[in-house]
Amino acid sequence: MSAGTKGEGFGVKILKEIIKLRKERKNERDERESLLDLYMHAMETASPEQELWRNLGDDGVRKAAYRGG
């Protein structure tokens, strides 16, 4: 990324993520988004007693969703 990009206030990390997403096929992006939505919904409706969500935390769920499992 150029210094001009940073100077305009764009975050390099986010821009790299956008470039990565644009390289993926649309169906791959859609599938990943669907999995993320499913996992996030499950976390929102899960009771605090359910160990899986408490042990994984937000990062673990995102990683699991991205891997497809």
Within a domain: 17? no
The reply to whether 18 falls in a domain is no
For 34, the domain range is 25-69
According to the model, what pLDDT value does residue 11 have? 87
**pLDDT value at residue 25:** 92
* Residue 10 pLDDT: 81
Instruction: Report DSSP letters for the chain, one per residue.
Output: --HHHHHTT--HHHHHHHHHHHHS-HHHHHHHHHHHHHHHHHHHHS-TT-HHHHHHHHHHHHHHHHHT-
Structural domain includes residue 56: yes
Mean pLDDT by 10 residues, the chain (69 residues): 67 88 90 91 75 59 55
Query: Looking at residue 54, what is its pLDDT?
Result: 61
Write down the pTM of the prediction: 0.45
Number of domains in the chain: 1
Q: Answer whether residue 3 is part of any domain.
A: no
DSSP E strands, the chain: none
